[in-house]
Structure 1
Amino acid sequence: MADILEDKIKNYRTAPFDARFPNTNQTRNCFQNYLDFHRCSKALSAKGQETSPCDWYQRVYKSLCPISWVEKWDGQVQDGSFPGKI
């Protein structure tokens, strides 16, 4: 039973309901998961640990966010002009 549940979570392709963002507009949810992914990756990389636990946030933001937003944000992160605090 646990294997079946674990397999379902691993293969889950869309973002689940998040009680922090109950409204239909998921813009904030998209942005928050993008930030959480980068914060998680940065924190675990600084400790020399595996960043695979951060993959959850990446899957969620990739399912919620338009590709053009992610590309723009990635460019801003590289340039150092991203408005969020990572």
Structure 2
Amino acid sequence: MLDVDCQVPSKGRWPTPPFDPRFPNQNQTRNCYQNFLDYHRCVKNMNRRGKSTQPCEYYFRVYHSLCPMSWVQRWTEQIKNGTFAGKI
């Protein structure tokens, strides 16, 4: 997993997502989907432990930078309806 502490930008500034060696190709669809899953898994685990979800913000910012909003809205709606295909 990526080191979240070194990825935190200065306050109020968020550059493009950093290079992820798991997704070296130009097509970033899988990167988008994986960061969406990682965010929701992170939030679920942190809530279960009773800890702050602040470390999950990295994944949130990355998938919001990479994913089309229509995908995010559809996936979020599917999660609410219990029909999302990914394992969270």
> Normalising by the residue count of structure 2, what TM-score does the alignment of the two structures yield?
0.86
Match of 2:3 in 1: none
Which segments of 5 or more consecutive residues in structure 1 lack a partner in the other structure?
1-5
| 2:15 aligns with one of 9, 13, 16 | 13
Q: Aligned letter for 2:9?
A: I
1:85 aligns with 2:54: no
Distance (Å, rounded) in 1 between the aligned partners of 2:22 and 2:50: 30
Give the paired residue count: 80
Preserved contact between residue 13 and residue 59 of structure 1 (Cα < 8 Å): no
Aligned residues: percent identity? 55
Distance (Å, rounded) in 2 between the aligned partners of 1:31 and 1:80: 17
Which segments of 5 or more consecutive residues in structure 2 lack a partner in the other structure?
1-5
Distance (Å, rounded) in 1 between the aligned partners of 2:79 and 2:18: 26
RMSD over aligned CA atoms reads 1.4
Q: Secondary structure at the match of 1:49?
A: coil
Q: Which 4+ runs in 1 deviate beyond 3 A? A: none
Larger of the two Rg values belongs to structure = 1
More helix per residue: 1 or 2?
A: 1
The C-alpha deviation readout for 1:20-55, integer Å capped at 9, x for no partner, is 000000000000000000000000000110001000
Q: Aligned letter for 2:72?
A: V
Match of 2:60 in 1: 58
Match of 2:38 in 1: 36
Q: Aligned letter for 2:82?
A: G
> Normalising by the residue count of structure 1, what TM-score does the alignment of the two structures yield?
0.88
1:24 aligns with 2:26: yes
